[in-house]
Amino acid sequence: MPCTVIVGAFWGDEGKGKIISYLALKDNLDFCVRTGSVNAAHTVWFEGKKYALHMVPAAFINPKTRLLIAAGANVDVKTFFEEVELTNVQGRIAIDQSASIIEEKHCAQDKASAVNKGIGTTGRGVGPAIEERVRRTAKLAKDIPELKPYLADQVQEVNDGLDTGKKVLLEGTQGFMLSLFLGGGYPYVTGRDTGASAIASEAGVGPTRVDDVLIVYKSFITRVGAGPLPGEITKEEAQKRGWYEVAAGTGRDRRSAPFDFDLAKKTAKINGATQAAITKIDAIFPGCRGAKIYNDLSKEAKDFIKEVEDKTGVPIVLIGTGPEAMEIIDRRK
């Protein structure tokens, strides 16, 4: 703090929503800026209720946090209004006037393109909407009358906040290995860069204004759709190990693989990670579920965390031990 970028280390589903929601409460965030688009959901468990959010930032659980959607984001207007009502954040959420809009035609184009090219998609129109923005023919948030009460200059607001020492979190979506430019397995990637630098760029925050890059790992790796997944195990084996998951946003099966230390090191280096979080430690070490103190972890869990730190060179400062926002071991000073 005061400015932290959250980036996923693998192919998404690392538990960024959990980490962001914890930081919103623990650090009493002033601003949380969501980048990306609706093709990724962040899951937040709070007070026994599950939220799968495609537009509203995961920091919504702190009623004092100003919620912003970045200038570089793509907005699905219907989803935005549905989630604003669900989370009751009217009056403290805004969209940058230059964010681009996903239209119905983009969803149809997205689905047709996926069939023709054999590349998996959520069908939410994100790729075609990005194409239109690149061609400079896209509608922007300022062009949509019903969004007028929610418009803001997100870039100005956040930079002014940083000038006065406010705590800002930049919320990345998807995982780094899905980056259009730097990910693995092109063309089985997403339509944008998902790295820490791009997250800051979408929010209009210069690199020298970022204090920390917090990379989020999960204790095992998952991805949805087609494309490479080194070390992939079968669905049956994933179910046996307790690793089988369904995507929060689409309901698609997540493919699974063991934690990849070499990949973890690579993604930490490229993103310039200064800190790391690891979630679902309880999935591979069930006895650690719900722990809130590091010494309550098993020796095996501690050895695993130390191996991640040793091989990546990045300190693990947050350890998720369960789904709830506050089921975290916080090792920060």
What digits encode the pLDDT tens for the residues 140-180?
Answer: 999 999 999 999 999 999 999 999 999 999 999 999 999 99
129: domain range? 3-330
User: For residue 112, what pLDDT is reported?
Assistant: 79
Least-confidence region, from 30-34, 101-105, 278-282, 296-300: 101-105
Nearest to 149 by CA among 91, 215, 193, 207: 91
Instruction: Say how many domains are in the chain.
Output: 1
The residue-averaged pLDDT of 244-272 equals: 91
Q: Is 54 a catalytic residue?
A: no
Q: Is 42 a catalytic residue?
A: yes
Contact assessment for residue 197 and residue 206, using Cβ atoms and an 8 Å cutoff: no
* Secondary structure (DSSP) of 201-247: HHTT--GGG--EEEEEEESEEEE-SSS--TT-B-HHHHHHHT--EE-
Catalytic, out of 13, 30, 110, 193: 13
Catalytic, out of 30, 42, 110, 193: 42
Indicate which CATH number applies to the domain containing 168. 3.40.440.10
pLDDT at 116 over 80: no
The residue-averaged pLDDT of 200-225 equals: 97
Angle ∠(24,180,155) on CA atoms, nearest 5: 45
What is the model's pTM? 0.95
> Which letter, b or e, does each residue of 266-289 get, where b requires 16 or more Cβ atoms within 10 Å of its Cβ?
bbbebbbbbbbbbbbbbbbbeebe
Ramachandran angles phi, psi of 45, nearest 5° = -105, 120
pLDDT at 11 over 70: yes
Cα–Cα distance list, 183 to 4, 36, 260 (Å): 22, 16, 15
What residue type is assigned to position 68 of the chain? L
pLDDT confidence of 249, banded at 50, 70, 90? low
Show the tokens assigned to 69.
């959607």
pLDDT at 248 over 80: no
Strands of the sheet containing 245-246, edge to edge, are 220-223, 253-258, 245-246
* Strand pairing report for 316-320 and 328-330: antiparallel
Mean pLDDT of the chain: 94
User: For residue 1, what pLDDT is reported?
Assistant: 61
